[in-house]
Amino acid sequence: MTKVTITPSQEIVAKAATEVDVTDERGRTLTLKKPGLLAQFRITEAMGPEAAENNAYRAMCMPLLWVVAIDGDRVNPPSTKAEIEALIQRVEEDGFVAIQEGIGKHFSGVSQQSVESAKN
């Protein structure tokens, strides 16, 4: 019988590829998945130079990249400032809180930096 061993690195990679659902106070289901590094660079570019230099604004936008669906409707990563603002309006405060809590609960071993950015 073959024994399959999963290394800690393989476990982290598998967890990073996982999508998880969280529910906000309104009862909406937000599906989260760890964004790739390129998506993080792209959202920084989409913010524009002045906003991207604003650490608070940038940290508040990064958790939005984790949202891949709202109530089953797929969400594309925002690629313009207008799309960033539209997604902010769509998730609103209760959705944003659920995103932050979901990242901390389900992905804490995957990207502690993103979780810390979301808290600041």
The pLDDT tens digits for 52-111 are 899 999 999 999 999 999 999 999 999 999 999 999 999 999 999 999 999 999 988 654
The pLDDT tens digits for 4-49 are 677 776 666 666 568 999 999 999 999 999 999 999 999 999 998 8
pLDDT of residue 15: 61
By the 8 A CB rule, do 59 and 118 touch? yes
The pLDDT tens digits for 51-65 are 889 999 999 999 999
Is the predicted pLDDT of residue 117 greater than 50, yes or no? no
Crossing angle for the helix pair 81-106 and 37-47, nearest 10 degrees?
A: 140
| Helix (H) or strand (E) segment spanning residue 119 | helix 112-119
pTM, entire model? 0.75
Q: Which residues contact 116 (CB under 8 A, 6 or more apart)?
A: none
